[in-house]
Amino acid sequence: MRVRTRFEFDFVTTATPDQVIELMTDFSPNRIDRWPASSAKAFEVYHLGETDADIREGQDFPKVWATWHYDWSTPESVRLTVTESDSLQPGGYMTLTATRRAEGGSAVHGEWEQTSKSLTSAVGVTMMRFIGPRFLSSYYRKVYDGLPRS
C-alpha cells in the first residue's frame, strides 16, 4: 500500500547556519551520539565526498532504515534523498535550509516528502501528515539548541 505525504515545517534555533549544516553532514562515529533517534546498528557510510554522501541510517523504534544520498552543494542547505529503504519508496526526500537571523542563530525551513512501501509504513507516513511538522520542528530544535556555543 502506497501513501504519499508532503509537508513543510519551520523552527528557530540558536545554532548558526554553518552549525546546522555541519551537524546534518557529520558522518563520523559521533553521529550516533549527536542524533538521539539514530541507531548504531543501522549506521553505515558508503561514500563521503566534499558536498555529498551516501549513508545508511535508521532507528531502533520503530525499527526502520534507509540509505540516503545527502547533498549539501547549495550553501546553507542539505537535501536527503532516499535511494533504498525497507519501508520508503526511493526518491522521497527531506531538505533543511538555514538562514542567519540578525538576533543570532538561524531560522530553518524544512520540507519532507515520503511515500510508503508497505501497509505498516503507510501508517507511519500517514501519521506524519498530522504530527510531522510539529514533531520534526521540535526534534530538530532540541538537537540544534543542545549544541555547545562557541
pTM summary value: 0.93
CB 110 within 8 A of CB 15: no
Q: Which residue has the cell 526526500?
A: 93
* pLDDT tens by residue, 70-113: 999 999 999 999 999 999 999 999 999 999 999 999 999 999 99
Question: How far is Cα 130 from Cα 67, in angstroms, rounded to an integer?
Answer: 25
